[in-house]
Amino acid sequence: MKIIKRDGSEETFDASKITAAVSKANEQADPGVRMTKLQIERITESVVIACEELGRSPGVEEVQDMVEHQIMAHGAFEVAKLYITYRYTRQLVRQSNTTDDKILSLIECSNEEAKQENSNKNPIVNSTQRDYMAGEVSRDITNRILLPKDIVDAHNEGIIHFHDSDYYAQHMHNCDLVNLEDMLQNGTVITGTLIERPHSFSTACNIATQIIAQVASNQYGGQSISLTHLAPFVQVSREKLYNDVLEEAKSVGIELTGETARKMAENRLLEEIRRGVQTIQYQVVTLLTTNGQAPFVTVFMYLNEAKNEQEKKDLALIIKEVLLQRYEGVKNEQGVWVTPAFPKLIYVLEEDNITEGSEYYYLTELAAKCTAKRMVPDYISEKKMRELKGDVYTCMGCRSFLTPDRFTDAGIGNIARAKNYEPGKHKYYGRFNQGVVTLNLPDIALSSGGSMEKFWRIFDERLDLCYRALMCRHKRLLGTLSDVAPILWQYGAIARLDKGEPIDELLYHGYSTISLGFAGLYECVKYMTGKSHTDPEAKPFALRIMQYMNDACKKWKAATDIDFSLYGTPLESTTYKFAKCLQKRFGIIEGVTDKGYITNSYHVHVTEKIDAFTKLKFESEFQALSPGGAISYVEVPDMQNNIEAVLQVMKFIYDNIIYAELNTKSDYCQKCGWDGEISIEEEDGKLIWKCPKCGNTDQSTMNVARRTCGYIGTQYWNQGRTQEIRERVLHL
C-alpha cells in the first residue's frame, strides 16, 4: 500500500510510523492516563485496515485524522489532545513553505498528484513543469489574497470545485469558439505581424494552426474551429490551380481543353486538401503551447453551415480528408500508427447524411469507421439541437455550450466589432465562457443526513456559495484590457476591440456564458432515495434537482444580465478529489462513497448494466436540462468489424439526443507490439496499467488512449479515474 505525502509525492505505507507517533504523544501524557502498548498496536491495526478499505492510496492528513479518531475511541483524550497539538504545531511550521515544497516536488517529478492531474500533459517536460510551477504560485496567491476564505475552504473541503484556480490570478477566461472566418477573410495579426487573407487552401490551413497555437496560449480552456471557415479557400485554390495548369501547358506548347485542365486542376486540388488537412493534424499534435500541452482544439464538421452548394461540396471534400487521416492515426516514436488525443472531432448528423442513399451518407459511413477505430468523431444531432436550442453550433472544448444568441434579437448589435458580422443573423463564433464552479451534489445529500427538508435548505446555501464564487470569476475579468491577449480581443479570435479598451461589454447581454457545474447526481439520488436515478421511483427526484439548478441560473441571469448556464462538469482529477473528501467527512457508505471516484454530471453509473439505446434515451432527458454543456456516451467493444451497429447507434443519436459519443479502446505496447487492450490491474494496493501479452508496466513504453471527460486522454490518470475506467461495463 502507498501513501500520498503532503507535497504530492508517493511512498510505501509504513505502519510503524503510526505506532511511533502515538507512542510519542502517549509518553508526554500523565502516567495515570497513558495507553497500554496493546492499545497502541490496536490503534495502528485499525488505521491500517481503514486505509486498505479505501481502495486507494490515502493522504497523510487522512491517516492522521484516522489516528485521532482511534485514540479518542479508546478514551485516551489526554493523549489525543497532545497528538492534535503536535499536528497543529507542525502545520504552522509547514504553512510557511507549502508552496515551495510543492514546486520542488514538481521539478523532481515526485509529485504523484501533479503527474496525474491532466491526462494530456506530460509532467516531466520543462514546459509543463514551468506551467505547474506558475500554477502553484498563482493558486497560492488566489487562496491567500484573491478569493474569500469561505470559498477557498469550500473548495479545499470538496464542497465545491473552483476550477482552474492556478490561472485565476491572471485575467484569463475559459474556452471559446474562434471566429476563424473573420481572421482568415479579413486578416489578423500574430506577434506583431500582419497576416492577410490567404490565397490558397493550404496557406489557410497553415494560418489556422498558428491561430490555434496563439489562442491556446492566451486562455486556459478549449477552443473550437469550424471547417466551414476553411471551405471557401478550396475554390480559391481550384481557380488558382486551373490557371496554373493552363500556364504550364502553354509554356511547353500544349493546348488543353477546359475540361482536361479542370480535371488536372481537381487532382492537384485533392492533393492540396490532403496536405492542408495533414498540416492541421500534425501541427496540432506536435505543437506545445505555453501551458505544456498540445492545443485543446475541437474541429467542427457541419455541412449545412456552408453558405452555398459549391461551398458545401468543398466542405465535404475537407471532411472526407479529415476523417481519412484520423482513421489512419499518427505514428508514435516507433513508427506505429496510434490514436492521437487531438484535435477532437465533432460530426453533425443531419438530414442529408443520416439516411442510406442521402447525398452525404458516404461521409457518415466513413465517420462510423473512424469512430470504431479511433474513438472520434463525436456526434451532434442537428434535429435535436434545433428542437432544444433553436440553432446548431459546436461546443467549446469538450462539452461547454454557449447559450443561444439573445443579444442579436435584442438589437444590441456588433459589440465585438467583428468584420464578418451580419445584422440580424445569430452569432456564435467569437463568443466564450468566463469560467466554471462545480457543485458536489453527493456532499449536499450526505450533509442532509437523508432529510429532504434539510437537503433543500443546504442546496440553497451551496447554490449561493457557487453564485458568489462565479461572481468572483466574473469580477476578475471586469476591467481586463484588450492588450492582455491581442490575438483574442484585438485581432479577431473573439473581438476587434481597440488597444487599451476593456472587454467588459462582452461579459454581459449573453455574449459570453458562465457555468454552474454539477457532479455526482447518481450518488446524490442513491443516498437520498436508496435507488439509482434510472429507477422510475427515483428519476423524478433527479429531474427535480436538475430543474432546481436551472431555476437558480435563470434567477441569477435576470439579476445580472450575465448568462449563467448549467454545465455537466467533465470531472477529470476532481472526481478523485471529491471522492476522497466525501470519504473523509462521511466515511465509507456502500453505493455512495465506496469508490475512488464519483459519477460525472448526470451520467448513469459506469457499473450499472444498461443497453446503449436505453442509456442514451434516459440521459437525453437530463442532457436537455444541462444546457451549458453535456455529453453522453456508450461504452462499446471493438466495433471495427461491426460498422453497421455503429451506424445504428449514430441514427439513434440523431433521433434522440443532442450530443453523444462511442467509447472504445485504442492501445499499443511498444515493448512487444500488442495492439489490443492494455489492462488495469492492482499491485501493492495501487492500480497500474499492464500489457496482457508481455507484462510490461512501464507507462512510458505504452500508447493508451481512453475517453474520460468527453475528450481523449493519453497521459494516464489518477487512481480514482483509473478505477472508474476499470469498472466500466459495456453498453453494446
DSSP assignment of 461-512: HHHHHHHHHHHHHHHHHTT-BGGG-HHHHTSSSS--PPTT-B-GGGGSTTSS
Instruction: Give the residue from 111, 125, 15 showing the smallest Cα distance to 70.
Output: 15
CB 359 within 8 A of CB 353: yes
The three cell numbers locating residue 269: 486540388
Instruction: Give the residue from 704, 612, 625 showing the smallest Cα distance to 661.
Output: 612
* Nearest-angstrom CA–CA distance, 339 and 330: 7
pLDDT for 186-203, tens place per residue?
999 998 999 999 999 999
Q: What is the pLDDT of residue 61?
A: 86
Q: What is the pLDDT of residue 99?
A: 58
Q: What is the pLDDT of residue 93?
A: 58
Q: What is the pLDDT of residue 238?
A: 98
How far lies 642's CA from each of 305, 347, 362, 645, 676, in Å?
A: 31, 20, 16, 6, 17
The three cell numbers locating residue 218: 492566451
Domain ranges of the chain: 1-96, 176-342
* Nearest-angstrom CA–CA distance, 417 and 377: 33
Q: What is the pLDDT of residue 119?
A: 47
Amino acid identity for residue 397 in this structure: G
The three cell numbers locating residue 20: 511511533
b/e 42-69 (16+ beta carbons within 10 angstroms → b): ebbebbbebbeebbbbbbeebbbbbbbe
List the catalytic residues. Answer: 174-175, 396, 398, 400, 433, 567, 572, 710
* Nearest-angstrom CA–CA distance, 327 and 332: 15
Pairing type for strands 513-519 and 563-568 reads parallel
* Nearest-angstrom CA–CA distance, 377 and 384: 18
CB 115 within 8 A of CB 576: no
Amino acid identity for residue 732 in this structure: L
* Nearest-angstrom CA–CA distance, 72 and 576: 29
Q: What is the pLDDT of residue 562?
A: 98
> What residues of the chain score a pLDDT lower than 50?
119
Q: What is the pLDDT of residue 193?
A: 95
